[in-house]
Amino acid sequence: MTRRELAIGLIGSGFMGKGHALAFSLVGRVFDDLLAMPRLRLLADVDADSARRAARELGFEEASADWRELVTHPEVDIVDITTPNHLHAEMALAAIEAGKHVYCEKPLALDAATASAMTEAAEAAGVVTMVGFNYLKSPAVLAAKGLIEAGVIGAVWQFRGAFLQDVLADPQQPFGWRFERSLAGSGALGDLGAHVIALAHFLVGEVTQVCAHATTVIEERPAALGGHGYRAPAVADAPRRRVENEDAVQALLTFAGGASGVLEASRVATGRKVHLTCEVIGSRGSLAFDHERMNELQLYEAADPADRRGFRTIIMGPEHPFYGCFWPVAGCGLGLGDTKVIEVYELLQAVAQARRASPDFAEATAVQRVVDAIVASAAQRRWVATSEGAGG
């Protein structure tokens, strides 16, 4: 099969940028029906040395210290944005104006109004967009979606979801962009809770109202010695900076279809690593997923005989979405990086077929509306509709 080529321009080479680059490198080896092969054309980073080093390590042909050069480069077809949150909008809008397709990490923007403007620009330009809610690409999550749509658990009554980590539980973890509202937006909510919202929308439907509480338990952090990201060292006896967004959030949810839900997110949950869980409770049964056991799905069916009722474990295998492209037998297991491979596969297929990818800017805007509503609810201590101040 002759495949067309799509040139990739990656902005940012941190841990997420590396994950994207690896996914583009692997996708053609995993999927036999891939319609377009990615070409790692250009990488841009904060300075020339960093860009050249990352381009060499990740396999890109050229490097640049100017992201604007990348988004206007005549050979780049897809602009891939893995930068800090506050840069997403400017970069994506510039790429759209240049006629490029855009693959952006979440959150799409710092607020729903900006995200909505980005969506409108992309739709007007006719470009394909995708946002990095890669947990939606887990075979177990996709299998859960199929069971829900098939009516196996009946009418959906409740959703419970949480994303808990202790990656920022150390009070000596230095101050970085994630703690500054103008650069990150919300804290644990936008970074972790947004994934739970995306799962809720995917499995249950639109969230229409929220009631939330947010807390910042480590109110000040030391200045960083240098570098950026989770591993930046702190300065001994450094001055302290005040944290501007939340460490943890809890919210009640109502859905358009009548279901109710609970959401929790924390970046200071001591002992938790990537504790992303969700449960969907229905009139005829329930489903439960835990990302730390991402190759398993728990299913309960109320119609089972009384002496055999209880959750059973479904082991992911080639019978489930996308799994068979990686392994021919059940139980081998996929990892987080594999969900990125699936994500870029669907992006490349969508561009090659000139169709919508999912989740796109519009879906990410819907997630951001819920984020904004939760922030407002926590501040105002009341129920807030996601349509309030939705920005389009």
What pLDDT sits at residue 286? 98
Residue 31: inside a domain, yes or no?
A: yes
Residue 277 structural domain: 139-293+295-334
Residue 367: inside a domain, yes or no?
A: no
What pLDDT sits at residue 230? 59
One domain for residues 129 and 165: no
Strand ranges of the sheet holding 207-215, from the earlier edge strand across to the other edge: 312-315, 296-301, 285-290, 275-282, 156-164, 260-266, 248-255, 207-215, 384-385
One domain for residues 66 and 21: yes
pLDDT tens, residue by residue, 117-176: 999 999 999 999 999 999 999 999 999 999 999 999 999 999 999 999 999 999 999 999
pLDDT tens, residue by residue, 127-139: 999 999 999 999 9
d(CA 209, CA 186): 18
Asked if the model's pLDDT at residue 391 lies above 60, the reply is: no
Residue 310: CATH number of its domain: 3.30.360.10
pLDDT tens, residue by residue, 174-202: 999 999 999 999 999 999 999 999 999 99
One domain for residues 173 and 110: no
One domain for residues 63 and 205: no
One domain for residues 118 and 20: yes
One domain for residues 93 and 52: yes
Residue 104: inside a domain, yes or no?
A: yes
Residue 81: CATH number of its domain: 3.40.50.720
Label residue 328 exposed, middle or buried (CB < 10 Å: 0-12, 13-18, 19+): exposed
One domain for residues 129 and 173: no
How many domains would you assign to the chain?
2
What pLDDT sits at residue 233? 63
What pLDDT sits at residue 234? 65
Could you tell me what percent of the chain has a pLDDT over 90? 94
One domain for residues 110 and 153: no
Residue 353: inside a domain, yes or no?
A: no
One domain for residues 24 and 93: yes
Please choose, from the candidates 196, 194, 221, the residue with its C-alpha nearest in 3D space to the C-alpha of residue 280. 196
Residue 364: inside a domain, yes or no?
A: no
In this structure, the strands spanning 260-266 and 220-222 are unpaired
Asked if the model's pLDDT at residue 228 lies above 60, the reply is: no
Last residue of a domain, one of 133, 166, 195: 133
Last residue of a domain, one of 334, 365, 385: 334
Asked if the model's pLDDT at residue 389 lies above 80, the reply is: no
What pLDDT sits at residue 392? 46
Q: Report DSSP state, residue 235.
A: P
User: Which of the four pLDDT bands, split at 50, 70 and 90, describes residue 238?
Assistant: confident
Residue 374: inside a domain, yes or no?
A: no
One domain for residues 47 and 147: no
Residue 339: inside a domain, yes or no?
A: no
One domain for residues 247 and 272: yes
Asked if the model's pLDDT at residue 316 lies above 50, the reply is: yes
Asked if the model's pLDDT at residue 274 lies above 50, the reply is: yes
One domain for residues 174 and 99: no
